Structure 1
Amino acid sequence: MIRYDALDALPVRGALPALDDALEGHGTAVLVAPPGTGKTTLVPLALAGLLGEGPERRVVVAEPRRIAARAAARRMAWLLGERVGQSVGYTVRGERAVGRHARVEVVTTGVLLQRLQRDQELAGVDVVVLDECHERHLDADTAAAFLWDVRGTLRPELRLVAASATTDAQGWAELLGGAPVVEAHGAAHPVDVVWAPPARPVRPPHGMRVDPALLAHVASVVRRALAEREGDVLCFLPGVGEIARVAGQLGESGEVDVVQVHGRAPAAVQDAVLVPGERRRVVLSTSLAESSLTVPGVRVVVDSGLAREPRVDHARGLSALTTVRASRAAGRQRAGRAGREAPGVVYRCWAEAEDARLPRFPAPEIKVADLTAFALQVACWGDPDASGLALLDAPPSGGMAAAREVLEAVGAVDSAGRATERGAALARLGLHPRLGRALLDSVPFVGAERAAEVVALLSEETPREYGDDLAGALRRARRGGDAYASRWRSEVRRLRGVASGVALPPAGALSREAGAGIPADSREERQVGVVAALAFPERVARSDGGSYLMVSGTRAEVGDGSALRGVPWIAVAVADRPVGKGHARVRLGAVVDEDVARLAAGTLLEEREEVGWDGGDVVARRVERLGAVELTVRALRDADPGLVRGALLEGLRREGFGLLRWSPEAGVLRQRLAFLRLHLGEPWPDVGDASLHARVEEWLEPELSRARRRADLARIDAGEAIARLLPWASGEAGRLDELAPERMTVPSGSRIRIDYTRPEQPVLAVKLQEMFGLQESPRIAGVPLLVHLLSPAGRPAAVTADLASFWRDGYQGVRAELRGRYPKHPWPQDPAGAEPTRHTNARLRR
């Protein structure tokens, strides 16, 4: 019996006529309705004609989460007075409750994508509702793009509804070809805001880490809310670990039930929280309760201000969830949960001044998440670069390139990015392509049962108490009676059937190895390692100096006391980067051996000659390498001359041309040429290091081609070599001594060496008395020399580039200071007119 009283109370009912008109006239619509208005439950029933009005249609509703899909189906069945599976059913991964006559089916977006890949026309479906599309999950964005493609090419009569809980609907309307926006106004009650920041600063989140001081503060705010307000308390926390910690701090109470709700909670707990409790409750939840679920009895919300979003580091090949500050849109959604049934209050665990600095909306997953599964989906759809798909945000090119590398390595796409038969099979597994590859390719080595067990472990984050050893975690899951173990066993059954029902040849290096193969091994640890290594071949790692070096080049460390510590080889399944650490930290890994490493990462296996400059000399060796990991090294006697030459050049680049033999004359020649290049330019050569490296063939051959090691470089006469760069062809080389002489004749007749150390202005250091009678400063190539006038003891008495000015203004002061100290030397009153001399007064008198 239909519960019309409950249906009539849902505010979205008033928007149904406008929604019908939009779908009849345009075929698509964007429905904006706040949480609690009935967009998830009443709208699909009305569109299916199950309320006695309108034509009969088959409606598919896509939800971003399994818990939301089950809850929506059960709520709709309750409104119809039926059991789930009759008129309304649901399908989520590993679970299906849909009867023969069901007209509304609620599915997860992942299930919808798989269905679209199998049957692009969605035969028999009249309307698809994409719920909670404002959350910008990658699967939802992809499903919307595929559906729009289907509507434009195959099924123009297919109706599409994008349902959003926020008013930011214009982008979706434009994406769906100018779809009408239909708004339903909720009957939300007022919600007061209480700002409750910590008394002392807390550390910002990093990776998965949340400052324990903040969690302790959140627990204290929950206790405060219980004391100050009536009704149930809904507390938002970023993840399962934080929920467990806050639950532990709240402890047990005879008056209040503490309920933990998250994607890993048992189905019974997830379902129970959606009905009123017998006692007052504190519901600790992740962000799934923002808009997907309605928790009855809630009058108070405590918001930690944190959320988890996917991130990927393409350079390191590590991807995981990370903790971020929740957006302002998420904050509004969370606060609204307190006003669903009556006036409420939200306690925000941050300062009011911080609120304006928060991001407006969550980051779209397509911008920040691992795109491997997305790239496979679009490749199977026939659009490898997604350029022809209607997406609110284009996928980043770097993320797509990294995804294609992974897909090529597992044989899912060809060199052009087109999906192979193997790729199409992987896309249908309902797994990340990495895990799908591991499931299919490990069966010949470990059997379907073990492959399914390990892949099921890898497909969902294992509880922290299971440890970091994958084989140990497998044993814990088998023995476990917790919710995780229950879900794991269900997934193992599903994957075992999948693995047994797909027969494809192995990909890449496996096809070459499978004949000789790695013999089957009954040791469980090794079997687990085979599966993990096939899932993450670039994360196979060898022990190296206290840490592990992955074949990708990333270093990782294992914790003290870990079963993985000290073993020669591991396969890293999950890793993160702790604050302030340069290396990744292994969160979950498996023991492997070199044979397994070669099998899994075979596409990275190569043997080559490596000749380089290392430790100050040429090192030549033959190296067998698995990515960044050296497997075997042998000395190479007859190295390729070209490689040797490259190593010598690398040595010159690192250590400079001081490796050559530089006589004093050679050094001066380089300085003279630098002076001419600076002041005269062409045709005088640039003899700076960069230019000499660029023109090494012109001046250092053939000596360089004959060299084999550092000692050979030290025998090369740099002056003779660099002289090859002089402009001999134009004849200008003959003017070198004229334009930049090594020595200059001064008035006394002495030939004084010019110092070209500073090419901007060379220095002439000469005794003062030897310059008597010279009216102007000497010049070379038009540049006045910087004259260092020396005392009889050879120390600078004055420095000038304008000798006439010095004789006129500076000399008398120098004469007064030095005349008494050096009375044997001439100090005439008029130095400009005096006779220059190298001698003392006594020599002059003789």
Structure 2
Amino acid sequence: MPGRAYDTRGVIRYDALDALPVRGALPGLTDALRTHGTAVLVAPPGTGKTTLVPLALAGLLDGGPVRRVVVAEPRRIAARAAARRMAWLLGEKVGGSVGYTVRGERVVGRHARVEVVTTGVLLQRLQRDQELPGVDVVVLDECHERHLDADTVAAFLLDVREALRPELRLVAASATTDAEGWARLLGGAPVVAAEGVSHPVEVVWAPPVRPVRPPHGMRVDPALLAHVASLVRRALAERQGDVLCFLPGVGEIARVAGQLGGIGDVDVLQVHGRAPAAVQDAVLAGAAGRRVVLATSVAESSLTVPGVRVVVDSGLAREPRVDHARGLSALTTVRASQAAGRQRAGRAGREAPGAVYRCWTEAEDARLPRFPAPEIKVADLTAFALQAACWGDPGALGLALLDPPPGGAMAAAREVLSAIGAVDSAGRATERGVRMSRLGLHPRLARALLDAAPLVGAERAAEVVALLSEEPPREYSDDLAAVLRSARRGGDAYAARWRTEARRLRTASTPAPRGAAGTPGSAVADRSDISAAGAAGVSGVPGGVGGGSHGLLEGDGRSSSPVETGESLRLVSALSSAGGWGNAGDDRVVGLVAALAFPERVAKVDRGSYLMASGTRAEVGDGSGLRGAAWLAVAVADRPVGAGHARVRLGAGIDEGVARDAARMLLSRGEEVRWSEGDVVARRVERLGALELAVRVIRDADPVLVRNALLEGLRVEGLGLLRWSQDAERLRQRLAFLRLRLGEPWPDVSENALHARVDEWLEPELGRARRRADLTRIDAGEALGRLLPWSTGDAVRLDELAPERIEVPSGSRIRIDYADPERPVLAVKLQEMFGLERSPTVAGVPLLVHLLSPAGRPAAVTADLASFWRDGYRAVRAELRGRYPKHPWPEDPAAAEPTRFTNARLRR
């Protein structure tokens, strides 16, 4: 702690410290922190930025000022490794001058001056006490990875510096990063660069011989993994030194390890966040013999693996993605970015010249994304939104972030938080939400733990939530109850981690006395003096959020929110009233907890598959222990390649009562009147989201709902549902012609226009209709007459402008066909038009005259009668005179007498 130095050190390994290239950047970094208080440190992997810099800033190397330094790492494995390495450099054991804290594990002595923590742990500390008392410097390591927790921690620390502790020093450290962006974010911080010692790395482009399927979800083509294994064997044969192979996840590491059996004296080691500490230590310590280290992206920059001369890169990585429409989110396998590829390749040149074997072509490399997507852009933001709400900035509008959170993702997150009682109607964190945020869980799982513990006991609730917080091995089962039994008796690494997490959650879910350190009440009260700190706002938001709180957590600590005292307690009461939870078996308990965590994923058997309350349809696998269950609580689901439905990967059987109570916020009752299968269907329905629980046909449905359903029917099936007589059709065609030729005030009678004006022309008939049969009795022509321009007086000119019939020279009144509004048609016998030189017109438009033979078939079509008599008539006369000798075929039709009769009739 500042003010006194405790010497617990052994022999400092100065030879190792002097060999670290970052030493040359220390004067510039120290000067930047002294003059500005913040700095961006850019140092390649292996230069010592994670180990030497914190020791120097803490004054542990040269007797400088005594400071307490907190180093934030994105991963637990990196935090442990960094602490061990620093302790080794000091000649100590971890827990002396250097310690570490990760979730569920704390090794920090009384006199520690450097503490390495995960960003998640630091985030929790800031929420509990934003002043970070006793901490002088915070180093945000590997900030280029753009993990959401790291971005959030940086934003909160900048708030703290501005509002409460301007003397707190911040360092953003990274191997490769947007240095200028971080410098701007840290208020114009100086950028300090350290030169690295790197050796040349030969790039070997080694794509698979045959095309492989691209990754989909968590799936990786086995052919690619087989190719990776063959490349590892090739690298061992062609190169010297250890081989570091990058794969996207634990499953792929296990499969490739299985394919590397029998490779002589070479040790195959697996490095990932779930690997036992002993394995991690062995990898980082080096060995005399050759090794193959199969690793996830954790080895890109956070860890230094000694002895590596060759890298085999699968080109894949895992990143979080969320599909808000389906309500399913998980890690997804993606192509690694160019920046990740450079980081991985650099591992081969840390100690000597090396080589990287890449499982793709050079042409493909140019098309890869330059950098990985910032997690804030692609991940589920529910936990982030809760952290922001607890900080006092529900919309995260005042937080200093390199990338703002997407509006849609934040809206979806707020809906979830509101549903589980974590925020109030204004988006502010409730006391229940504050407690959720401190459990180190996703808010969904926090809700399940808090609401299940009073019913089934803290221990059993913690056991199930621990299963949900890390997906268990596939070989356990897809039935959560079976998974629980396997974990209890298991002796593998997963079971060990599960037991540790279950113990942590059992303790965390037990409420501390009100007002004790770390309880919601005290946390709120501890922040009551923030306004007195004197600053006027945070990140450009005057007065902070809520007026004078500096964007930190608000509240008076006196009462619970309406959501907490109401909805949450009603839920527990409803579930308690079902009875028997204290003595319930594992099957019921796991179903309850899973349903509380994922209420929109409770699912009911429906037409051979399961329909979730969210509306997503899912199936269980062949041979699944979940088959036959009427209801499921789905914990994990994905969508296989080419599948029409989601697939349940982990779930539990439940009954309808649990589904109703766990997802009660989705429960609704009411009348549903809609157009379905060609008619109005009126029902009183009880729903759980998209699931129908109870249905009863009603006869006296709300007239407004019936009318809306009829309108939907007219929209879906068209106005043909009405009774359209020939006169009605012809009226509509005449009006369409006038609308086209003259425009206003003649009405638009297209389908869309008539739907838009349905109130004007279908009332009151529509108001009296109750079903399809009533629509078929409505006279469309009579109703359409209401749209005529009566108010302007133009309606009386309808027959003048678009007459239904027109008199031709023979004296006949012939009907005009307006089916084509561009050119109305007059179909008339040729002989009845003798003597008419010009084509008749309507509304100034010449009619298209179909001159018919005596048999009524078109003999000619013209819009220019004069031209036809002059040029076309002779050919028609020559062709038809012999066929119809009883009809007149004068040589000069323009001067002939028009007639509708035969020659014989004319002679009489």
> Normalised by the size of structure 1, how large is the TM-score?
0.99
Q: Distance in 2 between matches of 1:198 and 1:174?
A: 43
- 1:162 aligned residue (172, 193, 196): 172
Matches within 5 A, 1:105-144: 105-144=115-154
Q: In structure 1, give the amino acid aligned to 2:409.
A: G
| CA displacement, residues 522-573 of structure 1 (integer Å, 9 cap, x when unaligned) | 2210110010010011111111111111111111111111111221111111
Listed as ranges, the matches of 1:444-523 within 5 Å are: 444-501=454-511, 509-516=567-574, 517-521=577-581, 522-523=584-585
Amino acid across the alignment from 1:615: E
Please give the per-residue CA displacement for 1:666-713, whole angstroms capped at 9, x wherever unaligned. Answer: 111111111111111122111111121111121111111111111111
Contact 1:379 1:413 in 2 (8 A): yes
2:674 to 588, 609, 612: 612
Q: Is the 8 A contact 2:571 2:662 kept in 1?
A: no
Counterpart of 1:69? 79
Whole-angstrom CA distance in 2 between matches of 1:807 and 1:286:
89
Runs (4 or more) in structure 1 with deviation over 6 Å come to none
Tell me if the contact between 2:421 and 2:567 (Cα under 8 Å) persists in the aligned partners: no
Report the identity percentage. Answer: 82
Q: Is the 8 A contact 2:421 2:568 kept in 1?
A: no
Instruction: Report how far residue 730 of structure 1 moved.
Output: 2.4
How far, CA to CA, are the matches of 1:240 and 1:507 in structure 2? 42
> For the aligned residues, what is the CA RMSD?
1.3
What CA distance in whole angstroms lies between the structure 2 residues aligned with 1:305 and 1:714? 64
CA contact (8 A) 1:46 1:53 kept: no
- The answer to whether residue 284 in structure 2 is matched with residue 222 in structure 1 is no
Q: Which of 233, 245, 250 matches 1:235?
A: 245
Structure 2 CA distance for aligned equivalents of residues 344 and 203 of structure 1: 30
Q: How does 1:181-330 map to 2 (within 5 A)?
A: 181-330=191-340
Q: What do the CA deviations read for 1:399-458 (whole angstroms, capped 9, x no partner)?
A: 100001111111111111111111111111111111111111001221111100010011
Q: Is 1:363 equivalent to 2:363 in the alignment?
A: no
Of stretches 732-741 and 453-462 in structure 1, the one that deviates more from structure 2 is 732-741
| Corresponding residue SS for 1:560 | coil
Greater shift after overlay, 479-488 or 68-77? 479-488
Match of residue 702, structure 2, among 629, 640, 643 = 640
Determine if contact 2:54/2:114 at 8 Å carries over to the other structure.
Answer: yes
3-state SS in 2 of match to 1:437: helix
Q: Which amino acid aligns with 2:224?
A: L
Quick check: 1:510–1:602 contact (8 Å CA) kept in 2?
no
Task: Indicate the residue corresponding to 1:32 in structure 2.
Answer: 42
Counterpart amino acid of residue 710 in structure 1: R
The aligned runs of 1:24-63 (5 Å cut-off) are: 24-63=34-73
Give the corresponding residue for 2:685.
623
Quote the Cα distance in structure 1 between the aligned partners of 2:44 and 2:672.
Answer: 64
Q: Does 1:410 align with 2:470?
A: no
In structure 2, give the amino acid aligned to 1:440: L
User: Contact between 2:430 and 2:564, CA under 8 Å: does it hold in 1?
Assistant: no
After TM superposition, give the deviation of residue 578 of structure 1 in Å. Answer: 1.4
Counterpart Cα distance in 1 of 2:671 and 2:228: 59
Distance 1:75 1:507 in 2: 49
Match of 2:111 among 95, 101, 112: 101
Do the aligned partners of 1:40 and 1:72 also contact (CA within 8 Å) in 2? yes
**1:252-277 CA deviation, whole Å, 9 max, x = no partner?**
33311111111111121112110112
Q: SS where residue 559 of structure 1 aligns? A: coil
CA–CA distance in 2 between the matches of 1:400 and 1:739?
A: 59
The answer to whether the 8 Å contact 2:271/2:293 transfers is yes
Match for residue 600 of structure 2 among 523, 530, 538: 538
2:348 to 338, 356, 364: 338
Q: Is the 8 A contact 2:320 2:331 kept in 1?
A: yes
Between 303-312 and 444-453, report the one with greater CA deviation. Answer: 444-453
1:11 partner letter = P
Once the two structures are superposed, the pairs formed by residues 368-447 of structure 1 within 5 Å of their partners are 368-447=378-457
Letter in 2 for 1:550: M
Q: What's the CA shift string for 1:593-632, capped at 9, x where partnerless?
A: 1111111110111110111111111111100111111100
Q: Which stretch has the larger CA shift, 167-176 or 290-299?
A: 167-176
Q: 2:792 aligns with which of 730, 738, 741?
A: 730
Separation of aligned partners in 2, 1:130 and 1:608 = 53
Equivalent-residue separation in structure 2 for 1:293 and 1:833 (angstroms): 106
In the TM superposition, what is the alpha-carbon distance from 1:507 to its structure 2 partner?
Answer: 6.7
Structure-2 separation of matches of 1:80 and 1:679: 93
Which has the higher mean CA deviation after the structures are superposed, 100-109 or 161-170?
Answer: 161-170
Paired with 2:193 and 2:622, the residues of 1 have a C-alpha distance of 57
In 2: Cα distance, 1:474 partner to 1:506 partner: 30
Structure 1 unaligned runs (5+)? none
| Equivalence map 1:581-600=2 (5 Å) | 581-600=643-662
Of residues 199-208 and 16-25 in structure 1, the stretch that sits farther from structure 2 once superposed is 199-208
- The one-letter code sitting in structure 2 at the alignment partner of 1:332 is R
| Residue 674 (1) aligns with residue 732 (2) | no
In structure 2, runs of 5+ residues without a counterpart are 1-10, 514-559
Contact conserved, 2:143 with 2:177, CA < 8 A, in 1? no
Q: Deviations over 1:693-736 (max 9, x none)?
A: 11112111111111111111111111111111112222222111
Q: Following the alignment from structure 2 to structure 1, what is the Cα–Cα distance between the partners of residues 512 and 783?
A: 69
| Equivalent in 852, 858, 865 of residue 803 of structure 1 | 865
Give, in whole Å, the separation in 2 of the partners of 1:801 and 1:251: 89
CA distance in 2, matches of 1:663, 1:345: 83
- The 1-side partners of 2:693 and 2:131 are apart by 51
The amino acid across from 1:82 in the alignment is E
Question: What amino acid maps onto 1:679 in structure 2?
Answer: R
TM-score (norm 2): 0.92
Matched residue type, 1:518: A
Q: CA deviation at 1:654?
A: 1.1
Whichever residue aligns with residue 50 of structure 1, its letter is L
1:576 aligns with 2:634: no
Deviations along 1:167-206, one digit per CA (max 9) or x if unpaired, are 5311101100010000001111111111101111111111
> Does 2:847 correspond to 1:785?
yes
Secondary structure in 2 matching 1:833: coil
Deviation track 1:579-600 (CA, whole Å, cap 9, x = no partner) reads: 2223211111111111111111
Q: Which residue of 1 aligns with 2:5?
A: none
Describe the shift of the 1:547–1:507 C-alpha distance in structure 2 as closer, same or farther (beyond 3 A). Answer: farther
Instruction: Specify which of 757, 765, 771 is matched with residue 703 of structure 1.
Output: 765
Are the counterparts in 2 of residues 508 and 603 from structure 1 also a CA contact under 8 Å? no
